[in-house]
Structure 1
Amino acid sequence: MSNDMMQIIADHKAGNIEQRAKLFRGFADPSRLAILCALCEGPMVVHELVERTGLSQPNVSNHLRCLQECGLVNSDREGRFIRYRISSSRIATLLSDVDALLDVVAEGVEACENYRGR
């Protein structure tokens, strides 16, 4: 393989790594993750998400805005309300896969000193 081709592949992978990291930052916040998990059960309006997650209404609204801007959540207007939903069923699949992975690595994740909860 030529050096040019290897550089193209390396550049592509580096871009993909950055994009993956950016995606995972969307999942990294406990509030956003709680909202996404709730929306995996079906579309909801803000007050339903507040009830389901225990977060404040302003907090839910701010995180929904972030999730929508990142393409993880879509919305539909229904009269006075806006109903939010996950943008792809693959999000629910990913979260389910994370749970399966945690079944295997939870002990190590819990013991990790690098990413302590706040």
Structure 2
Amino acid sequence: MIFETRKQLQKLDYSIFVIKIKDDIVETVKSFKYLGVMFDEHLSFKYHVEYITKKIGQRVNFLQRIGKNLSKWTKLLIYNTIILPHFDYCSSITWHQNKCDIQQLQIYQNKAMRCILNCNKY
């Protein structure tokens, strides 16, 4: 992966750029996952925010499905176990995202809290 400014990346000709390690050509990719963080070619971490939003959304929906018959404390324990770590891990990356991406994460946070506290949306 090459880390450059956008202006420098636009000037770069990828067809002549080849990295070899012991006669094996290293593949050029738009994004990759390393230690649970999605890196992209511009280091904007947009793919990472989409990735954690999807994971959090799946777990919040799971909590809503099973939460109807559970106590508030049990739902809070499930939230702290399977949802909160995704918000916390590399959270400093998400602080610098645009408002729309942050709102998606906030929507799932609100859904989880409404489920735990047995509150309606309105």
Task: Give the TM-score of the pair, scaled to structure 1.
Answer: 0.28
Q: Max radius of gyration: which structure?
A: 2
User: Which of the pair is proportionally richer in helix?
Assistant: 1
